[in-house]
Amino acid sequence: MPGAPNKPPTIEGAPPTPATEGGEKRQHALRRLAPDRLVLRLPIWRGPPSPDLVKPLERVAQALGSGEFPEAERALDQFSVRLAEPRWPTIPEPWVRLRVSIPAPQPPHWDPDFKLTSAERETKRTQEWADTQIRLLRATLDLAPSLKVDLADVAPRVDEAEAVLGREGPGPAFWSPVDHVWEAVEARVSLPVAAARPAPAAKLPPGIAPEEA
């Protein structure tokens, strides 16, 4: 409509980028990339994942390798939105928390956090993301045996992170063991291979039926 800003909608509910004290930018992205890789290996899929889901993660890995962190975050956002499309299977907890749908426009006062200050909203979102990280780490340890991935050596770091979160909140002492586990996942779990797209049908000259080709 006239006067409306020409920009894409803000994706509410996307995992926030923790403060710098929580780790470097690569760790910020890895906290999303590592569980994103694993969600495509859940037993809910009937075959190799769609290229529409794998391609964004490939771009994330390439961007992290070249230090292009803003591009990595954009690709992670794209994956999160695509994962929320209704054509995909229902994602179980806690992996469903990686899905981010684009909400329809609504009045600001409908937001339950509308009266919170910016600092309060960020604190709340960071705490929720830290809680989600613990849930994802627990689910990762449960999933690892079915993938024939040994994470026994880093499993105690999950207990450490949960204890620190309850005692001190999501500060540097919390993110350190979290990042240690995700680094191990990145090193031991390869990026899924996308399903091959069918070749486009050949265009035949006018008047020639397919069986005559």
Number of domains forming the structure of the chain? 1
Q: How far is it, in rounded angstroms, from Cα 71 to Cα 88? A: 25
Residue 7 included in any domain: no
CB contact at 8 A, 193 and 54: yes
Residue 79 included in any domain: yes
What are the distances in angstroms from CA 22 to CA 124, 162, 180, 181? 15, 15, 12, 15
Residue 157 included in any domain: yes
pLDDT at position 210: 53
Q: How far is it, in rounded angstroms, from Cα 115 to Cα 146? A: 45
Residue 38 included in any domain: yes
pLDDT at position 6: 44
pLDDT 10s digits, 104-144? 676 766 666 667 677 777 888 899 999 999 999 999 999 99
Residue 198 included in any domain: no
Is residue 203 pLDDT above 80, yes or no?
A: no
Residue 201 included in any domain: no
Burial of 110 (0-12, 13-18, 19+ CB in 10 A): exposed
Question: What's the pTM value of the predicted model, to 2 decimals?
Answer: 0.79
pLDDT 10s digits, 133-144? 999 999 999 999
The boundaries of the domain holding residue 80 are 21-101+115-188
First to last CA, the chain: 52
Residue 197 included in any domain: no
What are the distances in angstroms from CA 137 to CA 15, 78, 160, 202? 15, 22, 12, 47
Q: How far is it, in rounded angstroms, from Cα 198 to Cα 213? A: 19
Structure tokens at 143: 């999933």
Residue 205 included in any domain: no
